[in-house]
Structure 1
Amino acid sequence: MPPDESPTVENAYNKLAQTYQTQEEDPYCADLEFPAMTELIPNPARKRVLDAGCGCGRYAEWLIEREADVLAADKSIKMLEQAKRRIGDRAEVRRADITEPLEFAADSEFDGIICGLSLHYVEDWRQAFTEFARILQPGGFLVFSAHHPVDEYIAFEAENYFETEQKRMTWSASGEEIDVPFYRRPFADVINPLIETGFRLDELVEPRPKETFKDRKPESYEKRMKQPTFLCIRASSSES
């Protein structure tokens, strides 16, 4: 099958949806990104939390198990179908695009927002952060993860670190190679949009793999102990 000349994130994830849950079992998720993220999330019990870019519902399920009131949102219809199968009627599931106004959400509706490995599909984060700030309670938390700018710069041999530019990852699903477009960016274009939209940076983590990563993927462990893979951040919305 010829490669898609103009792939979109939505189409790519619609194709990946049936097998995507296996990605959660990969050490890069299970033993690196996911534990770092969950350690950053404040106690979500009895809080209204948005899982933005929910995929097949990994974080939504984790939040529900900790007694959060969850709304899970994603643009991919097929990924939402997987999320609905996973969490059933334990949370509301909606189709939404974090690059556009989140019209389903009222001002100050949420106590927290989780956005796991979704923002690197967005070119300019200011729109997303502006909406997140609008729908969060004053002092509400935002916890997100993304590709690390240094890792992207090295892995994709970028000519100019300071540019924000679109690249493609190639994933495999059911024997088909699928191009997934994303944006690499300098570190400044991670932090400055957050501050410009009124957030306070509370904690920044460049996670290293758990010991279990070494057991499951020893060929990558030493490299990932020395070179960053993901960036995980917790921020708070303005109190004013």
Structure 2
Amino acid sequence: MTTQQTNESTIRQWDTMPRKVMEAMEPDGDFAKRHLINPVLLRMLGDVRGLRVLDAGSGQGYLSRMLATRGAHVTAVEPTDAMFTYSQEKEQALQQGVHHVQADLSRLPDLGGRYDAVLCSMVLPTIPDWKPAMRACVQALRPGGLFVFSVNHPAFEQLLATWRKHGEYRLSRYLEEYEIPLTRATDFHRPISAYLNELTALGCRLREIAEPGLEPPIAREAADTESGIESYVHLPNFLIVAAERP
């Protein structure tokens, strides 16, 4: 893939996130996160009470706060000024004990010891130089620790928009790596093999892969306000992976 984007340039793009968008994510993310991503992430992580958990690329911090509510000792790493500041403000108000670090995942500072689990949700597809970020996540784990990450499903990442336009899903490019322009920033398409092969190269043992679909009753309830939402029932928009560090 040839791109003019760098980690620094994409961080600047994401730093334009309006506060009202961050506030709209309270308390548990948007529709897709609430119904498709969060339930799987939390199930894969299991009981986090008393565990050290790294939220790698924490965004506005809702997952960090959910994990802290469940008893985890959370470190949240986020590079953008806007979302880092928002998360700090929420911590000051809620006093949950979430420790915030502002850093690029590809260049993690010393975080003071290894973690029982590292969560990296919807972050890797936003990073041009993503392999060092995945490596940093794995290296932050104790031996036997759990690495859980979610990405846009590479085979169905533009599912909703395509379904709304055609009434079905269409895909013409999969094996290539390319940029996907978004409203405020850029995502990067990579085939599933890119993520899984890198995970293997880092010595991780795959535990589970999930491709969550939307429950039909939830789709029916949302149909009046979310055009094309029935596509989530038939095809997976997200890929979630759990792996262990040896």
The TM-score with structure 1 as length reference comes to: 0.84
1:79-133 alpha-carbon deviations (Å, 9 max, x no partner): 0111112233411101011122x12225x51111111111111235431222222
The answer on 1:228 being equivalent to 2:230 is no
Is the partner of 1:15 in helix, strand or coil? coil
The answer on 1:76 being equivalent to 2:84 is no
1:23-67 alpha-carbon deviations (Å, 9 max, x no partner): 455322222222222222121111111101101111111111111
Are 2:222 and 2:229, in contact at CA under 8 Å, matched by a contact in 1? Answer: no
Shift >6 Å, 4+ stretches: 153-158
* Higher mean C-alpha displacement, 111-120 vs 18-27: 18-27
Residues 194-233 of structure 1 mapped to structure 2, 5 A cutoff: 194-210=199-215, 211-217=217-223, 219-233=227-241
The answer on 1:98 being equivalent to 2:105 is yes
The TM-score with structure 2 as length reference comes to: 0.82
Deviation of the 1:186 alpha carbon: 0.8
Deviation of the 1:159 alpha carbon: 5.1
Residues 29-44 of structure 1 mapped to structure 2, 5 A cutoff: 29-44=33-48
In the alignment, the residues of structure 2 paired with residue 97 and residue 158 of structure 1 have an alpha-carbon distance, to the nearest angstrom, of 32
Is the partner of 1:234 in helix, strand or coil? strand
Are 1:17 and 1:79, in contact at CA under 8 Å, matched by a contact in 2? Answer: no
Gaps in structure 2 of 5+ consecutive residues = 163-169
In the alignment, the residues of structure 2 paired with residue 193 and residue 105 of structure 1 have an alpha-carbon distance, to the nearest angstrom, of 23
Gaps in structure 1 of 5+ consecutive residues = 171-178
In the alignment, the residues of structure 1 paired with residue 194 and residue 186 of structure 2 have an alpha-carbon distance, to the nearest angstrom, of 18
Question: Structure 2 vs 1, CA of residues 72 and 226 (structure 1 numbering), >3 Å: closer, same or farther?
Answer: same
Supply the AA of the counterpart residue of 2:178.
E
Decide which structure has greater strand share: 1
Are 2:223 and 2:230, in contact at CA under 8 Å, matched by a contact in 1? Answer: no
Are 1:202 and 1:235, in contact at CA under 8 Å, matched by a contact in 2? Answer: yes
1:56 paired residue number: 60
Question: Structure 2 vs 1, CA of residues 57 and 207 (structure 1 numbering), >3 Å: closer, same or farther?
Answer: same
Question: Structure 2 vs 1, CA of residues 124 and 189 (structure 1 numbering), >3 Å: closer, same or farther?
Answer: farther
Are 2:45 and 2:148, in contact at CA under 8 Å, matched by a contact in 1? Answer: yes
The answer on 1:165 being equivalent to 2:178 is yes
Deviation of the 1:149 alpha carbon: 0.4
